[in-house]
């Protein structure tokens, strides 16, 4: 078995977490007997933009479509390139152009990582956020009128399509159905956002009829955020719009300890590379964290978000055993690292996990653990 992976480290800490993560994936490939061909590209970075005046070359699509999956670091450097250019010219373009309509983000309390929440002992936290990833609040439709006057008015549309809503809601139900708790939480705000959100609720209720075995609950986003803090252990699968999914998938990992370990899979579950009658749209795997200009260059970024994203990619590619091994390696290194830290030994935990470790040190420990 052999897979071609487009590697786009991007900016900031993306460049730092990518090398150890690639070594982890190499280690998994070596151990489980498959090949990974990495094709590195400097695009989708502000460095590239500053040289070329654009985030991507004209033939970016063909390059990426020649790959089985995309492994993406992080993009953005607000000091040199405005966010709306760097992000809309890269990650948001990929999601839209490759119709990666599912953004899947697992959230788990992993032993060894200290949660900012008190009294969570003995209550495992293990849920998945399913975020709509192509439409909704990120429509980019709208504009400004009466510019520069007191009547200045700026409007932006939120757009929900039947196709867009149904496919993400159905995906979430399918996921919930296959999990032990069989529970789906829908994020809404239909009491205040009176047109699009009631429609979202309607579709959840309608599609829910096909899944009588799944328990469905809906919460308005304000109180749902409160519940994430107050009882995160009660969630199983959480489905939300582009914006609500974005919020919840940062808040969840913050509650379990650090966004630094959180992974993200941008999936197009309908695409099939074997089917030559349809265009191939690769899926993309990235950490939830961004380029973090504030800590870039210090070598202290947490590499686990990137490695765990790689783990999701292996799973997606069908390398279940390798994926399993990477997950176990992350878990075992974190547990051991916490132990060592408390005993005053070598501290592998990076600062976001309240340690003094480095990207390199933590990444290498996980790599070694994967080699077995």
Ligand X SMILES: CC(C)[C@H](C(=O)O)[C@@H](O)C(=O)O
Phi, psi dihedrals of residue 222, rounded to the nearest 5°: -65, -50
The owner of tokens 């966010």 is 83
Alpha carbon dihedral 211, 217, 220, 221, in 10-degree steps, equals -80
The owner of tokens 């994430």 is 228
| 219 touches, from a second copy, ligand X, none (C-beta below 5 to 8 Å by class) | none
Q: How many other C-beta atoms lie within 10 A of the C-beta of residue 43?
A: 21
- Give the nearest distance from C-beta 144 to a second copy in angstroms: 7
| 132 touches, from a second copy, ligand X, none (C-beta below 5 to 8 Å by class) | none
Q: How far is CA 362 from CA 13, 335, 365, in A?
A: 15, 12, 5
- Residue span 172-211 as binding mask against ligand X, x where in contact by CB under 6 A, dash where not: -------------------xx-------------------
Q: In this structure, what token pair is assigned to residue 188?
A: 């809404």
User: Element (H or E) spanning 28, and its range?
Assistant: helix 13-32
Alpha carbon dihedral 284, 287, 291, 295, in 10-degree steps, equals -160
DSSP letters for 184-252: EEEEE-TTTSTTHHHHHHHHHHHHHTT-TTSEEEEEEHHHHHHHHHH-GGG-SEEEE-HHHHHHHHHHH
- How many whole angstroms separate alpha carbon 270 and alpha carbon 310? 21
Q: How many residues does the chain have?
A: 372
The owner of tokens 């993309």 is 284
Number of residues in contact with ligand X, rule: CB under 6 A?
A: 7
Nearest residue to ligand X, by Cβ distance, number only: 192
Q: Of 206, 222, 279, 339, which lies in the binding site for ligand X, with binding defined by CB under 6 A?
A: 222
- How many whole angstroms separate alpha carbon 344 and alpha carbon 328? 24
Helix (H, G, I), strand (E, B) or coil at 369: helix
Which CB atom, from 290 or from 303, has the smaller least distance to ligand X? 290
The residues binding a second copy (CB under 8 A) are 76, 83-84, 87-88, 92, 115-119, 137-138, 140-144, 146, 149-163, 189-196, 198-199, 221-223, 225-227, 229-230, 242-243, 246-247, 249-251, 253-255, 259
- Residue span 282-321 as binding mask against ligand X, x where in contact by CB under 6 A, dash where not: --------x-------------------------------
Which CB atom, from 240 or from 290, has the smaller least distance to ligand X? 290
- Give the rounded distance of the alpha carbon of 109 from its chain centre: 16
Which CB atom, from 259 or from 322, has the smaller least distance to a second copy? 259
Which CB atom, from 194 or from 277, has the smaller least distance to ligand X? 194
- How many whole angstroms separate alpha carbon 16 and alpha carbon 22? 11
Applying the rule CB under 6 A, the residues between 62 and 91 that interact with ligand X are: 87
Which CB atom, from 5 or from 169, has the smaller least distance to a second copy? 169
Which CB atom, from 5 or from 56, has the smaller least distance to a second copy? 56
- How many whole angstroms separate alpha carbon 110 and alpha carbon 115? 9
| 117 touches, from a second copy, ligand X, none (C-beta below 5 to 8 Å by class) | a second copy
- Give the nearest distance from C-beta 273 to ligand X in angstroms: 24
Which CB atom, from 194 or from 277, has the smaller least distance to a second copy? 194
Which CB atom, from 1 or from 227, has the smaller least distance to a second copy? 227
- Give the nearest distance from C-beta 74 to a second copy in angstroms: 12
Question: CA geometry: angle at 359 spanning 3 and 367, to 5°?
Answer: 45
Q: Of 11, 99, 132, 246, which lies in the binding site for ligand X, with binding defined by CB under 6 A?
A: 246
Which CB atom, from 20 or from 252, has the smaller least distance to a second copy? 252
- Give the nearest distance from C-beta 32 to ligand X in angstroms: 29
| 155 touches, from ligand X, a second copy, none (C-beta below 5 to 8 Å by class) | a second copy
Applying the rule CB under 6 A, the residues between 119 and 178 that interact with ligand X are: none
Chain positions contacting ligand X, by CB under 6 A: 87, 92, 191-192, 222, 246, 290
């Amino acid at each position: 078995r052999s897979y071609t992976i487009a590697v786009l480290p991007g900016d900031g800490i993306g460049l730092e977490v990518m090398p150890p993560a690639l070594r982890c994936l190499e280690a998994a490939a070596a151990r489980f007997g498959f090949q990974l061909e990495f094709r590195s590209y400097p695009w989708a970075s502000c460095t590239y933009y500053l040289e070329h005046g654009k985030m991507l070359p004209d033939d970016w699509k063909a390059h990426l479509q020649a790959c089985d999956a995309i492994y993406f670091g992080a993009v953005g450097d607000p000091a040199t390139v405005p966010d709306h250019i760097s992000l809309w010219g890269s990650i948001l373009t990929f999601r839209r152009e490759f119709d990666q309509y599912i953004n899947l983000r697992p959230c788990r309390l992993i032993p060894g990582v200290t949660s900012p929440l008190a009294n969570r002992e003995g209550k495992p936290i293990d849920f998945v956020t399913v975020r709509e990833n192509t439409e909704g609040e990120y429509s980019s439709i709208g504009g400004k009128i009466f510019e520069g006057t007191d009547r200045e008015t700026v409007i932006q549309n939120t757009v929900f399509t039947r196709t867009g809503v149904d496919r993400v809601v159905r995906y979430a139900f399918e996921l919930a159905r296959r999990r032990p708790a069989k529970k789906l939480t829908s994020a809404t705000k239909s009491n205040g956002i009176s047109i699009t959100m009631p429609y979202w609720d309607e579709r959840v209720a309608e599609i829910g009829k096909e899944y009588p075995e799944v328990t469905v609950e809906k919460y308005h986003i304000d109180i749902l955020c409160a519940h994430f803090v107050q009882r995160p252990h009660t969630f199983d699968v959480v489905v939300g719009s582009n914006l609500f999914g974005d919020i919840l998938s940062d808040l969840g990992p913050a509650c379990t300890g650090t966004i630094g370990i959180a992974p993200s899979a941008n999936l197009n579950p309908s695409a099939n590379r074997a089917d030559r009658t349809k265009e191939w749209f690769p899926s993309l795997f990235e950490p939830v964290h961004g380029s973090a200009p504030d800590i870039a260059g210090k070598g202290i970024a947490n590499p686990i978000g990137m490695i765990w994203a790689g783990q999701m990619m292996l799973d997606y590619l069908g390398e279940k055993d390798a994926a399993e091994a990477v997950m176990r390696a992350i878990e075992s290194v974190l547990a051991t690292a916490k132990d060592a830290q408390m005993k005053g030994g070598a501290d592998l935990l990076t600062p976001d996990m309240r340690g003094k470790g480095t990207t390199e040190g933590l990444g290498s420990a996980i790599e070694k653990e994967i080699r077995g």
